[in-house]
Chains A and B, each alone.
Chain A
Amino acid sequence: MRTRAEFETAFEALGDAARRDVLKVMGAALAMSGLSACEGEPDPRAIPYVTAPENLIPGKPRFYATAVTFGGYAQPVIGTTYDGRPTKLEGLPNHPMSGGTTDAFTQGQVLDLYDPARSQTVRRDGRPASWALFEAAMVDNARRLDARQGEGLRLLTGATSSPTFARELKALTDRWPMARWHVFEPVHEDGALEATRIAFGRPLSMRLQLDKAEAVVCLDADLLGPGPHQTARGQAWAKARLAFQQGSGRSHLLVIEPAPTQTGVMAQDRLAAGHARIGQLTQALAAACGLGHATVALSPRETDWIGKAAALLQAAPGKALVVAGPQQPPEVQALALQLSARLGAIGQTLILTEPVLLQPPDGPTSFAALTRDLLAGKVDTLAIFGCNPVYGCPADLAFAPALAKARTVVHAGLHLDETAAFAQWHAPLSHALESWGDARAVDGRPSLIQPLVRPLYDTRTIPVLLEALQGRPGAADRDLVMQTWRLAWGDGFDDRWKTTLPKGFVDEPLPAADAQAGALPAIAVPPDGGLEILFRPDASAWDGAFANNAWLQELPKPFSTLTWDNVVEISPALAKEKGVQNGDVVRVTSGQRAIEGPAWIMAGQDRGTVVVRLGYGRRLPGGLADQIGYDAYPLRLSSSPWRVTGDLARAGKRHKLAPVQPVTEAELADFVRTAPADQARTVKRAKTVSPSFYPDKPQAPPQWGMSIDLDLCIGCNACVIACQAENNVPSVGKGQVLQGRHMHWLRVDQYREGPDEAPDMAFQPTPCMHCEEAPCELGCPVNATSHSAEGLNQQVYNRCIGTRTCSSYCPYKVRRFNWFDYTGKDSPQVQAVRNPDVTVRSRGVMEKCSYCLQRINEARIKAELEGRPIRDGEIKTACQQACPTQAIVFGDVSHPDTAVSRRKIQARDYVTLEEADTRPRTSYLARLKSEGA
Chain B
Amino acid sequence: MPAAAAAPRKKPAPTKTNFAPVTAEVTRIPLDFPQRRNWWIFFVASSALLGLYVLSMVVLFWNGVGMWGVNIPVNWAMAIAMYIWWLGIGHAGTLISALLLLLGQHWRNSLNRFAEAMTLFAVVCAGMYPILHLGRPERVFWMAPYPSTLGVWPQFRSPLAWDFFAVATYLIVSVLFWYIGAIPDFAATRDRSRTRPAQLFYGLISLGWRGASRHWLRWRQAYRLSAAIAVPLVVSVHSEISLLLAAGPVPGWNSTVFPPYFVFGAAFSGFAVVAMIATVLRRAFALENLVTPRHLDLLGQLTLLTGMLTAYGYFAEVFSALYGNDKADLLVLHDRLWGTYAWSYWGAWFFNFAPLQLLWIKRFRINPVWLFLISLSAATGMWMERFMLLVTTLYRTGLVSSFHSYTPSVWEWTQYIGSIGLFMTPFLLFVRFLPMISAFEINEARDEGKTVDEA
Contact = CB atoms under 8 A, between A and B. Distances in A.
Interface of A: 661-666, 670-671, 694, 736, 739-741, 747, 749-751, 764, 766, 775, 777-783, 799-805, 807-813, 815-821, 843-846, 912-913, 915-918
Contact of A808 (B142, B143, B250, B328): B250
A780 B76 contact: no
B158 interface: yes
A-B CB proximity, top 5 nearest: A802-B135, A844-B135, A819-B66, A740-B71, A813-B402
B137 to A, nearest CB: 8
B140 interface: yes
Contacts of B405: 662, 740
- Greatest chain A CB density within 10 A among B247, B397, B402, B406 is at B402
Given A801-B135, A807-B72, A808-B75, A781 B401 contact: no
B9 interface: no
Interface in B34-68: 63-66
A256 to B, nearest CB: 28
A179 B157 CA distance: 77
6 contacts: A783-B154, A783-B155, A807-B75, A813-B73, A817-B75, A918-B249
Contact of B160 (A665, A694, A781): A781
Interface of B: 63-66, 69-76, 130, 133-137, 139-140, 142-143, 152-155, 157-161, 163-164, 244, 247-250, 326, 328, 394, 396-406
A821 B65 CA distance: 10
Given A741-B71, A801-B140, A816-B72, A766 B401 contact: yes
Contact of B72 (A741, A783, A805): A741
Nearest to A764: B401
Contact of B139 (A801, A808, A816): A801
Contacts of B400: 663-666, 670-671, 749, 751
B72 A844 contact: no
B143 A741 contact: no
A912 B401 CA distance: 12
Contacts of B154: 781-783
Contacts of A810: 398
A512 B158 CA distance: 66
A812 B402 contact: yes
Contacts of A777: 155
Contacts of B250: 808-809, 811
A750 B161 CA distance: 37
Given A780-B158, A844-B64, 16 more contacts: A775-B248, A778-B158, A778-B247, A778-B248, A779-B159, A782-B152, A782-B154, A807-B75, A808-B250, A811-B250, A811-B399, A813-B398, A816-B72, A817-B72, A818-B64, A913-B399
Nearest to A813: B402
B397 A811 contact: yes
A912 B399 contact: yes
Contacts of B396: 663
Contacts of A808: 75-76, 248, 250, 394
Contact of B249 (A782, A803, A819, A916): A916
B133 to A, nearest CB: 8
B399 A812 contact: yes
- Greatest chain A CB density within 10 A among B66, B75, B133, B164 is at B75
A809 B248 contact: yes
A916 B399 CA distance: 11
A777 B248 CA distance: 11
Contacts of B65: 802, 819, 844
A598 B160 CA distance: 45
A661 B64 contact: no
Contact of A783 (B63, B71, B152, B403): B152
Contacts of B164: 781
Contacts of A819: 64-66, 70-71, 135
A843 B135 contact: yes
A741 B250 CA distance: 20
Contacts of B159: 779, 805
Nearest to A736: B66
Nearest to B134: A802
Contacts of B249: 775, 809, 811, 916-918
A844 B76 contact: no
Contacts of B326: 915
A677 to B, nearest CB: 26
Contact of A817 (B63, B135, B140, B328): B135
A741 B64 CA distance: 13
B403 to A, nearest CB: 4
A497 B328 CA distance: 62
B401 A751 contact: yes
B394 A662 contact: no
Given A802-B136, A807-B73, A741 B66 contact: yes
Nearest to A750: B401
Contacts of B64: 818-821, 843-844
A816 B71 CA distance: 9
- Greatest chain A CB density within 10 A among B64, B153, B247, B326 is at B64
A796 B119 CA distance: 37
A662 B135 contact: no
Contacts of A780: 155, 158, 160
A747 B158 contact: no
A812 B398 contact: yes
Contacts of A818: 64, 135
B161 A781 contact: yes
A843 B63 CA distance: 9
Contacts of A665: 400
Contacts of B399: 671, 749, 766, 811-813, 912-913
A807 B70 CA distance: 12
A664 B402 CA distance: 10
B152 A800 contact: no
Given A780-B158, A807-B72, A817-B135, A799 B142 contact: yes
Given A739-B71, A781-B161, A801 B403 contact: no
Nearest to A808: B76
Contacts of B397: 811, 813
Contacts of A811: 249-250, 397-399
Given A662-B403, A819-B64, A820-B63, A782 B143 contact: yes
B152 A804 contact: no
A53 B238 CA distance: 64
A555 to B, nearest CB: 15
Contacts of A846: 135
A461 B396 CA distance: 52
Given A775-B248, A813-B73, A913 B398 contact: yes
Nearest to B135: A802
Nearest to A741: B71
Contacts of B244: 805
A747 B402 CA distance: 10
Nearest to A668: B400
A250 to B, nearest CB: 32
Contact of B328 (A781, A800, A805, A915): A915
Given A775-B249, A781-B155, A820-B63, A805 B135 contact: no
Contacts of B247: 778-779
A817 B72 CA distance: 8
A18 to B, nearest CB: 15
- Greatest chain B CB density within 10 A among A736, A801, A844, A918 is at A801
Contacts of A800: 135-136
- Greatest chain B CB density within 10 A among A766, A803, A810, A844 is at A803
Contact of A740 (B72, B157, B158, B328): B72
Nearest to B161: A781
Contacts of B140: 801
A662 to B, nearest CB: 6
Given A817-B75, A845-B135, A803 B160 contact: yes
B160 A747 contact: no
Contacts of B73: 740, 807, 813
Nearest to A809: B248
